[in-house]
Chains A and B, each alone.
Chain A
Amino acid sequence: MKMTRSLSKFVKELQTIVGEENATDDKAICASYSRDQHWHFVPAKNPAYIVRPGNKEEVRRVLTFANNEKIPVIPYSTGINVRGLTIPVHERSILLDLSRMNRIVEINPEMMTATVEPGVTFGMLLEKTKKYKLRPAFPDAPLTASVLANYYLRGIYQTSAVDGHDHTLSYEMVLPNGETIKTGSRSLSEMPYFRYGVGPDFTGVFCAHPGTCGVVTELTAKLYRLYDNRKEYFVGFDDAGTPRKIIYNLMHDELAASIRLVDNQSWLKGICGTFDYPYEKLPKFVLCVLVEGVDGIFEAKDKLVQEYIKESGGTVLEFPEEFKRTFEEESLGGAEKSCMVFGLRGNYHCIGLYGPLTLAAQYYEVHEKTALEVGIPQDHIHFYINPIYSFHGQLCYFELDIFYDGGDLGFGEKLRNYNEKQFQRLLDLGIYGWFRPYAGIIGPTADRIGYLAEVWKKFLRVLDPNEIMNRGKLF
């Protein structure tokens, strides 16, 4: 079958910039970018063009072209997208697939930093950093996810509490008008290793806008140490409130590398690495604790951890050695088995938020209440907490999960009802912030933040007066 097709003038222009093989308006190729995991909320929509630049200059030229033509641009890194953030809202959108830009520009073991392009995944980066006994901070996202996009979208709820929250030091971003800005110490020197260069914290100001400011082409992030000494504990609790005390103690005294409170039917399976175990016989919540450190300090930490476990009111669970190994790998080497949760029912919904440990039990209570109200079965409702160092404000990442049958089209309605109620209830209860500004969150939130919402909108319009950057994803 001979395919003869005339290319639109836009595609020809784009091909001039990135090469014939790297820009297309082929309907089928575009269709492959039309949905992500969040399709029950963000309906499928095809981009009009897929463009795969290979370097910063090509990104700059594509953005300049799109800006002149007023074509929406959606930045996309490695394709592990949730929350519909790379699904077009408008017609004629260019999906800017940055996966070809996958260079690890530098690993600097002395500075404990890595500089990466958008197409570098967590797996690719760890493969190179491990020889220096260093690792990136990992999200509970698959190892195939982009380091740059995860860090830039906001600090992450890393699987290792000890890493803190903010891993980004500096970056380069191309704006719609073709100008490049460098944040942090990059703006002043060739040393990209410090977050604060001159003036405000621009590194932070441009974060968490899901591709609505410009395109980040290179980012320098912190790396963290890998220790040889490690020990794992699993402690069972019948409710989400009781473990608060031990979590507080471990965090306050900065004793554990990883501290994760999970329920016994979802994430624990991934942490242990198998579906084949009588999890239902365990207490409802399990606190997973990983201690690490150099000789001397490790032993001292471990002794204190054991004492806190004794007085925690929980039950120490004896798990097979391979479960402990998997917990280590998933916490300090990136999420692979954790993705077993995708197989629980074939899709999941979650609301991720930051809040204080003091509200842990209430977050769980309201999660369960809302889900049951909208007709979600009890056994679909799950929950976990990752506390985050340093523990000012008792900062934790909470995830309110619902695992459901992805093929059940009717379930989407329940989830939409859940979201509508739950966003308001969580805002009423009090949260520090949403994990990311994903579908449905900005509306109810913007009403509550007063003039800040206006400032935010004006800030975006200054950077992007033609509103080409991921248009429709925020306001």
Chain B
Amino acid sequence: MNTEDEDIFTNNLKLAELIIEEGQKSQLDYIEARYIHLRAEGYTLRNGLILGGGVTQSDGIGIRVLHNGNLVFLSTANMKAESLRELVHQAKSMALASKRKNPIQFSEEKAVETKWSTPYQIKFKDIPVEQKQQYFIDMDKKLLQEFGEDLPNRTIMVNLSHELKYICTNEGSKVRSEIMQPIIHTFNTAMGKYGTEQRFFGIGGTGGWEWFEQQNIIQSVINDAKTMIKAAKFAEPMKLGKIDVIVSSEVAGIMAHENVGHPSEADRILGREGAQAGESFYIDLLKNGNLGEVQLGNPEVTIMEDPTIPGSSGYYLYDDECVKARPRTLIKDGMLNELLLNREFAYKFGLQSNAAARAETFEREPIVRMANTYFKPGSFTLEELAEDIKYGILMNSFTEWNIDDRRYQSKYVGLECYLIQNGEITEKMVRRPILELTTKGILGSVDGVSKSTGYSHGTCGKGDPGQGVPVWMGGGQVRMRGIQLGD
């Protein structure tokens, strides 16, 4: 940020500390203040023309209090000392008025005083508006030049955010962070033999304006459109019956996220999301044994969750409860191994938090979230995964997907999909094959994972009010045996 932003931030973070002081005077059991200074810039284009856009700056503080076993959250954008002090007193009154029979407690974690940031070279703010807009207008021009009438409806949505955050608690933690995040989505419609194909496609990460060139984002957008048009033109409906399936890192990633990441969230397992994002089928699994004792997939399956991947959409080094981030092994060699925990649920499981607390904005409470979830790579090349498949498909991308709220019954509809015959990935494209599988059905069918990896961006939704947080999903390409395609 420039000096002006830094000045605002430095000045306001003192207000966060004032909140903690007031909380200490009020003898609150626990109080945390999370101050965020955000510069967000957005553009939406349709067929090369700007629909809307703008730059916004905001400052706000979220205050969370745990007192007498009751939890309260308040947020405000009114950065006046007296108003903030008053909010602390309100929070105490609200906590005292709440009467839980089972007091909420947090796991004890080491207090930290640190700062971290996402590496970046060029601030979004330092690039002139017209240059940024022209970049995206040119992106659309290239799509038009390359694909013409094959891609008649093109939408590009861009968000460039730069966040300065300061979290402090009455336990002595003080964590300052700077997060620079570019995200681009396209929603395109391709004309084809059977009508149209459509797809939302997102690319995201952490970094500055240089990210667009370094990651060759324009080429990624062109490649995505190209494969969608190819599928629209050449994919044919096929009744394939029971076959072997290789899924790309993109499809394996969404499976890792939906079928394993979400049910691993400890708040779901213990019911806190019961009326919203739902519970977890792990409730049943954990009746049969402890972590490390329950088999959920084949030994080839190891699913990782790691906020510390540099450049990733879900990157952070300390979570929103000031706990140091580390990789989490959710499934190890097919066995249930680790859950995603914040401090509230770490206490309930008798464990330490593994830094899974994230909040979308200052106006939201931190809850248990994923960061970057992936299939740990194996030892195969793609060709080796295909070579002993007599009859199958390679699913490179997907469109529709969903999963039940216990995270057991999932569906993934393929877009760019190729027929595999006698060990060869052919050029024959299969139209909209459906994987409608249980989580055990997926993880119990895996017998090989590639050594090459890839990652896709996503916005993970959870909570009420909803919170969308950026994540990566991916890992190796995954082979599954004996899959009956859905109708």
Task: Tell me, yes or no, whether A binds B.
Answer: no
Q: Which residues of A contact B (CB under 8 A)?
A: none
